[in-house]
């Protein structure tokens, strides 16, 4: 199972010191956090996408490209990219470039976001949020899996003979996760395409996500992608760790009490008991992750949110060090003993290339007779020479 670190990029006042970092300070601290995550042994680093204060991450691909240039091993992802307010053509191009820059160390989590005012800023209607998410991904999927796309839909202008460039690395798109906290239609979409489903369990009771994950697994089987064990499930949890449990509770309490999302709700102890909020000693965090396996079955990826709510940068770095030293090695050892040998892992770029091509030569797309003309909107084989149509290899 993979373990990762995710950030939502909030720029929040530290309730203990009263200090509010600048956007520049917060961005640089998150960059250091990504580098520390690789050094500490994490498998994944993910950044959110926001276009409103108090967040800074309006351009995830720019940030992740900078991380890619300074790392060698860690997979780069998002948490999440907005499938509703981003144009699918832009997403296809931006993340294909990032995939090339990172040498394939990229996957993509798509979601609708939770900030209503953003929709009109991009000319969208939040009342159409779910149809937007469904239609936009349908188009993104085609843009990555077909060289030349003719398409029409409800929410954007039609495309004729369109080729998204660059084509994905090795003509194999990044692995896609569909993230949701409440919507069964998104679990259905993930299952339909055989993509991953990420239950971002922060802030909500565990039993709520149990039902969403069960639905996704069931529909994954229904659409013929394999067994329930082969469905690719990811989970999110916020974590605050200290060597002693009481120190963790005492250290996190002011950040919990003044948090924009926790403030005014149930107590810290109640949230720890009923949601995936993990606050405690290394052993308590280990136990909570193993409990999630009992709830959801074997899953592919566990993401930890460690920097939310005004935690100072040095405290976040300490969290990563403690998780890397005391939690990840134990979880990896214990899971290797109890995890089903057939349990699925998140497919890497190399896995997907192997699955597509086997021992055959990997296709490297280039401008040729298989490609359309994005300037005139014509295609050499669909418009002028239909009898010379070239059948492209299937992409899965």
- Tell me what pLDDT residue 190 has: 97
Q: At what angle do helices 23-39 and 60-70 cross, to 10 degrees?
A: 40
Alpha carbon of residue 277 to chain centroid: 19
pLDDT tens sequence across 318-329: 999 999 999 999
Residue 354 phi/psi, 5° resolution? -65, -40
Q: What domains can be seen in the chain, in order of their start residue? A: 2-360 (3.20.20.30)
pLDDT tens sequence across 297-318: 999 999 999 998 999 999 999 9
Residue 17 phi/psi, 5° resolution? -90, -20
195 has a pLDDT exceeding 90? yes
382 has a pLDDT exceeding 50? no
191 has a pLDDT exceeding 70? yes
Judged by average pLDDT, the poorest of 88-102, 259-273, 316-330 is 259-273
Bridge-based pairing of strands 278-280 and 107-111 is unpaired
227 has a pLDDT exceeding 90? yes
pLDDT tens sequence across 136-175: 999 999 999 999 999 999 999 999 999 999 999 999 999 9
Bridge-based pairing of strands 107-111 and 2-7 is unpaired
Cite the DSSP H helix spans in 258-346. Answer: 268-274, 282-296, 313-322, 328-338
CA distance 7 to 33: 9
The number of beta carbons lying within 10 Å of the beta carbon of residue 122 is 12
Give the residue with greater pLDDT, 135 vs 396: 135
pTM: 0.91
- Tell me what pLDDT residue 119 has: 82
């Amino acid at each position: 199972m993979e373990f990762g670190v995710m950030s939502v990029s909030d720029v929040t006042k530290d309730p203990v010191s009263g200090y509010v970092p600048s956007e520049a300070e917060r961005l640089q601290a998150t960059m250091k956090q990504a580098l520390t995550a690789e050094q500490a042994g994490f498998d994944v680093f993910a950044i959110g996408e926001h276009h409103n204060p108090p967040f800074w991450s309006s351009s995830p691909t720019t940030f992740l490209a900078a991380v890619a240039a300074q790392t060698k091993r860690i997979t780069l992802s998002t948490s999440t990219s907005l499938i509703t307010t981003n144009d699918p053509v832009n997403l296809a191009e931006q993340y294909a470039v990032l995939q090339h820059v990172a040498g394939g160390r990229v996957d993509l989590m798509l979601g609708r976001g939770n900030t209503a005012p953003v929709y009109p800023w991009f000319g969208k209607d939040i009342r159409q949020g779910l149809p937007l998410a469904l239609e936009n991904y349908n188009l993104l999927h085609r843009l990555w899996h077909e060289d030349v796309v003719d398409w029409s839909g409800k929410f954007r202008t039609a495309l004729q003979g369109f080729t998204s460039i660059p084509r994905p690395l090795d003509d194999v798109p990044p692995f896609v996760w569909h993230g949701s906290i409440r919507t069964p239609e998104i679990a259905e979409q993930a299952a339909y395409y055989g993509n991953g489903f990420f239950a971002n369990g922060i802030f909500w009771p565990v039993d709520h996500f149990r039902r969403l994950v069960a639905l996704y697994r069931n529909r994954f089987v229904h659409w013929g992608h394999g067994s329930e064990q082969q469905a690719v499930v990811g989970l999110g949890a916020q974590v605050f760790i200290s060597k002693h449990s009481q120190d963790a509770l005492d250290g996190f309490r002011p950040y919990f009490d003044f948090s924009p999302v926790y403030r005014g709700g149930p107590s810290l102890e109640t949230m720890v008991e009923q949601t995936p909020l993990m606050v405690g000693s290394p052993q308590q965090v280990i136990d909570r992750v193993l409990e999630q396996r009992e709830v959801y079955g074997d899953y592919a990826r566990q993401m930890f949110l460690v920097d939310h709510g005004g935690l100072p940068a040095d405290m976040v770095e300490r969290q990563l060090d403690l998780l890397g030293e005391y939690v990840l090695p134990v979880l990896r050892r214990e899971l290797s003993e109890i995890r089903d040998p057939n349990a699925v892992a998140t497919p890497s770029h190399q896995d997907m290339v192997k699955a597509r091509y086997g021992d055959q030569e990997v296709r490297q797309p280039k401008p040729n007779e298989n490609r359309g003309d994005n300037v005139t909107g014509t295609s050499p084989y669909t418009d002028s020479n239909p009898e010379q149509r070239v059948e492209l290899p299937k992409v899965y």
